[in-house]
Amino acid sequence: MKHHRLSLRTKDSITGFLFCFPAIVGMAVFFVIPFCITLRMSVSENMGSSTFVGLKNYADVFASSAFRLAAENTFRFFGTALPCIFLLSLGIALLLHRNLKKYALFRTVFVFPLVLPVSSVVLFFQIVFGDLGILNRFLESLGAPAQDWMGEHAFVVLLILYLWKNTGYNIVLFLAALNSIPKEYYEAADIDGAGGFTKVTRLTLPLIAPHMLFILVISIVNLFKSFREAYILFGDHPDRSIYMIQHFINNNFINLNYIRLSVGAVLVFLVIFALVGLLLGFRAKGEHDA
Amino acid sequence: MLKQTISTILLAAMLTTGLTACGTGETATDTASANPSDSAQTTTDSTAEAAETVPENESVPLTKADYPDFVLPEATDTLTVYSTEMLGFTLNPALDIFRELYPEMEIISKTMTEEEYETIIRTEIPAGRGPDLLFSYGTDLPDVYKTMSSGVFLDLNPYFLYDEEFNPDDYFTGMLDSGLYGRERFLVPVSCCLPLLTTSAEVLKEEEIAPDSFSTIEGLLAACETYKANHPDRTVFADNGYITGFNLLKMLYEKCGIQLIDYRNSTVTMDYDSLKTIADIAKLHYTAGEQNKTGRITYMDIPKHQALFNGDLTSMWTLFMIEHYNVVCTNEENHLVYTFPDINGGSTAQIMTFAAVSSNTENALNAWRLIKILLSEEIQCGTSETLGNLTIASPVLKEGLRKYISMQAERAFYGTYELSEETMNEFCALAEQIDHAVLAPPILVRYFQMEMMPYVQGDRSFDDCYENLRNTIELYKDE
Q: Report CB contact under 8 Å: A240, B471.
A: yes
pLDDT digits (tens, 9 = 90+) for B349-359: 888 899 999 88
A257 to B479: CB separation less than 8 angstroms, yes or no: yes
Where does A89-146 show beta strands of DSSP type E? none
Q: How many CB atoms lie within 10 A of CB B176?
A: 24
Kindly report the nearest CA distance between residue B289 and chain A, in angstroms. Answer: 18
Say if A26 is an interface residue toward chain B (CB within 8 Å).
no
pLDDT at B36: 31
Cα–Cα dist B428/B434, whole Å: 11
Burial of residue B329, with CB atoms counted within 10 A of its CB: 0-12 exposed, 13-18 middle, 19 or more buried: middle
Give the minimum alpha-carbon distance from A287 to chain B in angstroms, rounded to a whole number. 10
Contact check, Cβ <8 Å, A46/B476: no
Q: How far is residue B448's CA from residue B441's CA, in Å, rounded to a whole number?
A: 11
Residue A25: the pLDDT is 94
When CB atoms are compared, the residue of B20, B126, B460 closest to A256 is: B126
Q: List phi, psi (to 5°) of B191.
A: -145, 150
Chain B contacts of A47, Cβ < 8 Å? 126-128, 150, 152
CB A152 to CB B122 under 8 A? no
Q: A222-262: per-residue pLDDT in tens?
A: 888 878 888 888 888 888 888 999 999 988 888 778 888 89
B206-215: pLDDT as tens digits:
889 998 888 8
Q: Do the bridges between strand B390-391 and strand B188-193 make them parallel or antiparallel, or are there none, so unpaired?
A: antiparallel
**Residues 170-189 of chain A whose Cβ lies under 8 A from any Cβ of chain B:** none
Say whether B381 sits in a helix, a strand or coil: coil
B406-452 residue pLDDT tens:
666 666 555 555 667 777 777 777 777 777 888 889 889 999 999 99
Q: What is the pLDDT, as a whole number, of residue B35?
A: 32
**Closest A-chain CA to B4:** A284
Mean pLDDT of the A111-127 span: 86
Nearest to B45 among A35, A60, A217 (CB): A60
Q: Tens digits of per-residue pLDDT, B110-165?
A: 888 888 887 887 777 766 678 899 898 888 888 888 888 877 788 999 999 888 88
Q: What is the pLDDT of residue A239?
A: 84
Selected for mutation to probe chain B from A32, A148, A228, A272 (highest B CB count within 10 Å) is A272
User: Do B12 and A288 lie within an 8 Å CB cutoff?
Assistant: no
**Looking at chain B, how many residues does it have?**
479
What span, in angstroms and rounded, lies between the C-alpha atoms of B189 and B379?
13
Q: How far apart are CA B90 and CA B387, in angstroms?
A: 10
CA distance B131 to B80: 5
Cα–Cα distance measured from residue A247 to residue A67, given in angstroms and rounded to the nearest whole number? 9
Q: Which residue of B has its CA nearest to A288?
A: B1
Q: Decide if A209 touches B, using CB distance below 8 A.
A: no
Q: Tell me what pLDDT residue B27 has.
A: 37
Residue A261: what are its φ and ψ, rounded to 5°? -60, -45
Mark yes or no for CB contact A65/B9 under 8 Å: no
Please state, in angstroms and rounded to a whole number, the distance separating the CA atoms of residues A237 and A246. 11
CA distance B313 to B251: 7
Number of A–B residue contacts, CB under 8 Å: 166
Cross-chain residue pair B22–A284, CB shorter than 8 Å: no
The C-alpha of A91 sits at a distance from chain B's nearest C-alpha, in angstroms, of 26
Q: What is the pLDDT of residue B42?
A: 31
Cβ distance of A273 and B450 shorter than 8 Å:
no
- What predicted TM-score, i.e. pTM, was given to this entire model? 0.78
Cβ of residue A227 closer than 8 Å to a chain B Cβ: yes
- Taking the CA of residue B107 and the nearest CA in chain A, the distance in Å comes to 22
Q: How far is A13 from chain B (nearest CA, A)?
A: 16
Q: Cβ of A66 under 8 Å from any chain B Cβ? A: yes
Residues of chain B with pLDDT under 70: 1-60, 126-128, 291-295, 299-300, 312-323, 383-388, 405-419
